[in-house]
Amino acid sequence: MNKKGVLVTGGAGYIGSHTVVELIGAGYEVVIVDNFSNSDASSLDGIAKITGTKPIFVEADCCDKEALREVFEHYDFSSVIHFAAYKAVGESVAEPAKYYRNNLLSFLNVVELMKEYHRPNIVFSSSATVYGDAEVLPVTELTPRKPATSPYGNTKQMAEDILRDIVSANNELRGIALRYFNPIGAHPSALIGELPRGVPNNLVPYITQTAAGVRECLSIFGDDYPTPDGSCLRDYIDIVDLARAHVVAINRMVEGKSEECYEVFNIGTGSPVSVFELVQGFERANNLKLNYKVAARRAGDVTAVWADTTRANEILGWCAERNLEDTLRTAWAWECNVRKEK
Ligand code: NAD
Ligand code: WQD
């Protein structure tokens, strides 16, 4: 079995494409499977330009088990990173079946085929959303998960549990769930980044589109939270730092260093940042003024969540390196590049 081979589902997407770049840089041979439901081939071109390597790409839906089986038949890899999922929280509330079907079926197909084809290692994209409105901050991996407040969040909790049960029942399989906090920014080359379709839900793409004049004004959702400046606190993690965490997790499994068959790690910076601080950081980093106003709270937002990253620091030997303003410069450079192409 090719220990250097990695199957990356959802590898044309935002986090997947950055991870593929880091994997290639670390000497891994990558096969990407994506159905372009939330991405397009431009990220594959970006990966090729950055790395000088065109990864193998198969356009397929991970919910189509026979199409996915072809990939397991034809390519040799010991590890899988499973990014493929839908991720819009609000849409998942409106269309829960779509989310349960895509996120759970794709995941089950992947793990069942891994078992059948004896491919031992999987990294699963989980989310800080599993913590919900935590009572004690920062959250550690032992902080009890709260009942999910959206079908999207529920798919992450369910997939974590399914993974734990499947690897526990099969001593050939090992799994690592990475709970990402708020990924932001883009590759420093500005050749890959986040490509939201329609009106962005997330803060940073909304900011960059406002600065670019695509959106008129950023609404800051609430300034009356019980936080130092009244806006919500989050843990914004640079996309390249996040991508590196996947390489470290794969290394750990390939080198047989995992102590347990199933491990969970928080991937964040460990520092809370408010919405106002993020906006000001963006203005400072890019030397511009943003049009913003305070608006009502957004339904479903938690007041604050940030990571205790001790486990990732000590066990994975990983920590976030890039500072917030550098990250916000990459976000803006990427937005400018996207606009230039249009
Ligand atoms: P993204 O939408 O940019 O990437 C997901 C990719 O998966 C897309 O390219 C999409 O086309 C593909 N895809 C979706 N369903 C598929 C299917 N059935 N078969 C094949 N391809 C499929 O999203 P992202 O931000 O890169 O997120 C990647 C993963 O990380 C997701 O599982 C997401 O839930 C998780 N996550 C994201 C965030 C975030 O804020 N971006 C935070 C925590 C966790
Ligand atoms: C960040 C802060 C908003 C937009 C979401 C998902 C979570 C995870 C990451 C996948 C909040 C405020 C936002 C705007 C604003 N994804 N905001 N104006 O909600 O922390 O997390 O993405 O797993 O599951 O829920 O991220 O970027 O939407 O918001 O004031 O136009 O910015 O209120 O405080 P969130 P976000």
Q: Is the pLDDT of residue 341 over 90?
A: no
- Yes or no: say if 276 and 105 are a contact pair by the CB < 8 Å rule: no
pLDDT at site 259: 83
Give percent above pLDDT 90 in the chain.
98
- pLDDT tens-digit readout, 11-27: 999 999 999 999 999 99
C-alpha 114 to ligand 2 mean position (Å): 33
Mean of pLDDT values over 207-231 = 98
pLDDT at site 80: 98
Residue from 7, 14, 82 to probe ligand 1 pocket by mutation (most atoms less than 8 Å from CB): 14
The model's confidence at residue 207, banded by pLDDT at 50, 70 and 90, is very high
- Enumerate the H helices of the chain as residue ranges: 14-25, 42-51, 65-74, 89-94, 96-99, 106-116, 151-168, 203-211, 239-254, 275-286, 310-311, 324-341
C-alpha 61 to ligand 2 mean position (Å): 27
Mean of pLDDT values over 331-339 = 97
Give percent above pLDDT 70 in the chain.
100
Residue nearest to atom 9 of ligand 1 (CA): 13
Q: Is the pLDDT of residue 342 over 90?
A: no
Give pTM, 2 decimals: 0.99
Q: Is the pLDDT of residue 246 over 90?
A: yes
Residue from 131, 152, 180, 236 carrying the catalytic annotation: 152
Q: Is the pLDDT of residue 54 over 80?
A: yes
C-alpha 84 to ligand 1 mean position (Å): 5
Whole-angstrom distance, CA of residue 286 vs CA of residue 291: 14
Q: 245-283 b/e with 16+ CB inside 10 Å = b?
A: bbbbbbebbbeeebeebbbbbbbbbbbbbbbbbbbebbb
- pLDDT tens-digit readout, 274-317: 999 999 999 999 999 999 999 999 999 999 999 999 999 999 99
100 is catalytic: no
Q: Is 127 in the pocket of ligand 2 (CB under 6 A)?
A: yes
* Ligand 1 site residues, Cβ closer than 6 angstroms: 9-10, 12-16, 33-39, 61-63, 83-85, 87, 102, 106, 125, 127, 180, 183
C-alpha 288 to ligand 1 mean position (Å): 31
**Any idea what the Cα angle at residue 255 is, between residues 161 and 83, rounded to 5°?**
40
Mean of pLDDT values over 135-163 = 97
